[in-house]
Structure 1
């Protein structure tokens, strides 16, 4: 039970990669609070998590309401008395060629991904300092490799990588680890992308050395467990490519 009684926040935890991580973590003893805008999926996931961790729960929230993010963190700490792990997973974007990308699509990507990550990290900092906790943020090959039609998404993801490295340096003295997962997974978002751009999807699949997209719980979730556990205490500021070998950083 690598995460026994560790209180963990996962944004976008009602399904997809967030749900996969939530399931993997409760099976290792974590108390997981999923924060998601989708009430139906959130309640369904809450029931699944409570089979392993009765104290786990779902909070419905719109992460674009940035002024409320501090209140969410404080509500969770008030309930459980601590915070050990923050996972910033939620992100929404649209696919458009760079020259045709309007400000509204850039705003969507930053308001759902970058700014919630920023504000939740600021709100969580004093509590993570107390617990010598962990932050797991999310990057993407879209930014690292520059995927077509992903300009707004790539910009926000690379901005998240930037602040993750800064906080890894600033918070290391406090015993807080900040790391980044860059996944390739069989998530609902990837399935939608496969339908929208089947040829591009197949081209990406053909370049995965391990020959498949990752499983949200067994592949991505297990790495998240590692980064949230004591096993990773000497790792910080790193981008972990959980992508079947697609991108091999130098």
Structure 2
């Protein structure tokens, strides 16, 4: 028996990086995982990998910037599986520029791939999460919590996600729905590419992590997502979980 047996979970940005780590961790605990991603090639490859663990899992191609289609993602999953237990809003894209150089397009990219999909998917999922007393897992970032340079558009959207998550936690607690937030540092493909491009900067950042390493997308981030999707976390809501090796210690 897995912690998530037969629970249906949607993970946006699930074809790679942290999303794929969470997808594999949840599938290994018995969940039926629907990964939603724009990239068909990586999505199909991850679908095969997931189906070897959890045969009913699937890939759904979608552009999260297509706001009108967001409710259809939820509807399609519920029509196929009859329920929704877990919604994980992980996808996000942004550009790194200083505040003085941020354009409207930069803000739109960050909010249209991060905040708005998170908000509208939560809204569309609510009726079904009420039925299952389900879980929402959203994503924050140290970029927003600490205010990292050149991350203005990303930080703004991430902190907006934290804000709406806390409101939802207050409003939806009466329905038995918990809404929590993960703020990770992970050894994702993007971080690996950065390590090759700027090894000295990478090493400087790594050396400041108290646990001395970047997190594994499945074993570290994925396992916390499993916890937040399971019965083990049912008395926790509205919390930001710093899964970052101790880099930021919230007061």
**Which moved further from structure 2: 139-148 or 191-200?**
191-200
User: How do 1:87-236 residues align onto structure 2 when only pairs under 5 Å count?
Assistant: 87-194=88-195, 198-236=199-237
Distance 1:189 1:159 in 2: 23
- SS of residue paired to 2:180: strand
User: How far does residue 61 in structure 1 lie from its aligned partner after superposition?
Assistant: 0.4
RMSD of aligned residue pairs (Cα, Å): 1.0
What secondary structure does 1:236 align onto? coil
TM-score, normalised via structure 1 length:
0.98
Matching residue of 1:2: 3
Listed one character per residue, the Cα deviations across residues 57-98 of structure 1 (whole Å, up to 9, x for unaligned) are: 000000000100101100100000000000000000111111
Take 1:226 and 1:18, find their aligned partners in 2: how far apart are those partners?
Answer: 15
1:102 positional shift: 1.1
Greater shift, 182-191 or 168-177, is seen at: 182-191
Q: Which runs of no fewer than 5 residues in structure 1 stay unpaired?
A: none
In structure 1, the partner of 2:81 is: 80
Q: What's the secondary structure of 1:180's corresponding residue? A: strand
Q: Please give the alpha-carbon distance, in whole angstroms, between the structure 2 residues aligned to 1:108 and 1:195.
A: 26
Partners of 2:192 and 2:132 lie apart in 1 by: 37
Asked if 1:35 corresponds to 2:36, the answer is: yes
SS in 2 for 1:35: strand
Residues 181-217 of structure 1, C-alpha deviations (whole Å, 9 max, x = no match): 0000011222344456554433321210000000000
TM-score by length of 2: 0.97
Aligned to 2:14: 13
Unaligned runs of 5+ in 2: none
SS in 2 for 1:19: helix
Q: How many residues align?
A: 250
